[in-house]
Amino acid sequence: MRILRYGARGFISILILLSICMPMLIPVNPMSRKSNGRETVSVEGQLTTNSRNASLFPILHISPFRIDSGASLKPPSGRHLLGTDILGRDILARMLLGGQVSFFIGFLATVISLLIGIPAGALAGFSGGWPDRIFNRFVELFYAIPMLLLLILISGTMELSIASLAIILGVFGWIVPARYMRGEVMKLREMNYVQYAVATGASRWHIIRTHLIPNGIGPVLVSASFNMANLILIEATLSFLGLGVRPPFPSWGRMVYEGLGFLNVAPWIYVPPMVMLFLSIFSYDILGQDLKRMIHSR
């Protein structure tokens, strides 16, 4: 079990570093295209490359967006370590960028859900009365409507960018941290130091900000780790259905879908993103269990 915990921490650390250092690894230029062995870049793409990557030195030297009609469905080789897809795009470069996209969406959605859920849950748990009743009605409403179905309806009616998809996932994901925070606050509000703060006339938000949230944040952070894995899986599901990240940006879910048409011909298209998706979800689950164990041991 210790090996799994260390492995999960290491994988998440690598994923974070890859997301931060992505411009140094691959040339991110969605406008580049290669045909008949010659690469052409539009003026807009060249300006984007010059302004963003002028001082960076890509390690792979292969853009995840570059289409090479002469390298379609090439197996893993020295030039393309994980092979290419039907359009001749490098699988490794696309998988790395897809990891950055998945991590960004999951991380931003988790942060948004925490920013909404923590104060909402703390206010409901400390105030009781009608704020708590309104909170419970919201919880019942959100759980009555399947989140994935609602996201499919929203994605089907409008074209979502990476940021807008993360924001929507975060807005719909605030219930989980809010419920954990509410439960912790309802226990903490009976503590002597909280009762003393109330007796001295401290304001409600002062008590919540200085006494309740800092002491009840532990279980919320544990739930955030599990929620991160869930959000990455939801994003992959939407992309697999063609409703998540839009082309040309890659996503692990989209890459798995694109590889289903070549199950026997080119398994290198869908196996790497499937493995990365599994490792990400598994690692965040292990990390959540590790955090839970650390909090309970205090």
The full set of domain ranges for the chain reads: 97-248+279-296
Contact 162, 105 (CB under 8 A): yes
Q: Report the length, in residues, of the chain.
A: 298
Could you read off the pLDDT of 148-167 as tens digits, one per residue? Answer: 888 888 877 877 788 888 89
| Least confident span in 2-6, 56-60, 160-164, 291-295 | 56-60
- Answer whether 175's CB lies under 8 Å from 230's CB: no
Q: Does domain 97-248+279-296 have CATH number 1.10.3720.10?
A: yes
Average pLDDT over the chain reads: 79
SS3 for the chain is CHHHHHHHHHHHHHHHHHHHCHHHHCCCCCCEEEECCEEEECHHHHHHHHHHHCCCCCCCCCCCCCCEHHHCCCCCCCCCCCCECCCCCEHHHHHHHHHHHHHHHHHHHHHHHHHHHHHHHHHHHHHCHHHHHHHHHHHHHHHHCCHHHHHHHHHHHCCCCHHHHHHHHHHHCCHHHHHHHHHHHHHHCCCHHHHHHHHCCCCHHHHHHHHHHHHHHHHHHHHHHHHHHHHHHHHHHHHHCCCCCCCCCCCHHHHHHHHHHHCCCCCCCCHHHHHHHHHHHHHHHHHHHHHHHHHHCC
pLDDT by residue (tens digit) across 94-152?
888 888 888 888 889 999 999 999 999 999 999 888 889 999 998 888 888 887 888 88
Q: Token match 């164990």: residue?
A: 293
pTM of structure: 0.80
For residue range 258-296, what is the model confidence (pLDDT) as tens digits? 888 888 888 889 899 999 898 888 888 888 888 888 877
88-96 mean pLDDT = 88
Binned at pLDDT 50, 70 and 90, residue 71 comes out as: confident
Residue type, position 265, single letter? V
Please indicate whether residue 34 or residue 210 has the higher confidence score (pLDDT): 210
* pLDDT one-digit tens code per residue, 11-24: 666 666 666 655 55
